[in-house]
Amino acid sequence: METLLTDRLATLSHPQRMALFRLLMRRYPDQLSAGEISSVLALKASTTSVYLSALKTSGLITQQRDGTHLRYAVDLPAARAVVSDLFLDCCKGRADLCPPVSEFQPKVLSVDKKLNVLFICTGNSARSIIAETLLRDIAGDRFNVYSAGTLPRSELNLIATAMLAEKGHDTSDLTAKNVSVFQTADAPVMDFVFTVCDLAANEECPPWPGQPISGHWGMPDPVKATGTLAERRLAFQQTYGALRNRMTAFTALPLDQLDRASLQHRIDDIAKETETGIQTT
């Protein structure tokens, strides 16, 4: 165990290998190609290949073939083992060196109050706005819902707001905001933070106060859709349908019965199991 731990720590001690590992952690459960990793981290293809090989050899990431491409993801059990070995095994049970094991045990969320949920995308003009509106209207009695962007646009996307209005949603209070608004000392403490675009998930953000449960529910940007107006509207309908599926699955979770680890797994599963669908009502 000690040799495996030191090997993994040595692998992660390299700043760029650690950056790659962090990227895959932020994008979990997505599986990324070497080309996308190189692009996000501005690395040469050969350099990325060397780093991926080192992380894979240490058992910190997995590799899976997708047609002619190889895709990579974090190995979560291995990541948990590194943390466990560092904070538990190395302390040899000495309470003066490490917190008691009970402090690392998952806790169930309190549902005696409304929980705070934040959706993040790059522009905060379409996907995160749609997600905010859907969860607010599906379960606004249980959640305070917000959205923000890492590089917010000055105006909301007109096709997105028109579609929401046509479906009976109130869009009067929707605005584009920078994510920094929710990182101030007086901002509401989030219970959940979801990224709904890959670009936002690729960026490193400061740790959120309160350690909210996070999820990456990335999907294509409908704003980038091309073609006729009908074809572009269809892209927004598909985004709406996919997000509605995810909100329905999320609100069905028994939050008062799942510990944090189980809840995190269920949220990751929602990203993998829900598929894009068109909602016309």
| Annotation says 205 is catalytic | yes
d(CA 281, CA 266): 27
Sign of the dihedral defined by the CA atoms of residues 235, 193, 119, 264, in that order: positive
76, 57, 10, 27: which is closest to 216 by C-alpha? 27
Catalytic hit among 90, 91, 98, 121? 121
Amino acid at 142: R
Beta sheet of 115-121, edge-to-edge order: 143-149, 115-121, 192-195, 213-216
Here the tokens at position 186 are: 């007086």
Catalytic residue among 90, 91, 98, 197: 197
* Known active-site residue 90: no
b vs e for 27-65, b when ≥16 Cβ sit within 10 Å of the residue's Cβ? bbbbbbebebbbebbebeeeebeebbebbbebbbbbeee
Would you call 197 a catalytic residue per the annotation?
A: yes
Q: So which residues are the catalytic ones?
A: 121, 197, 205
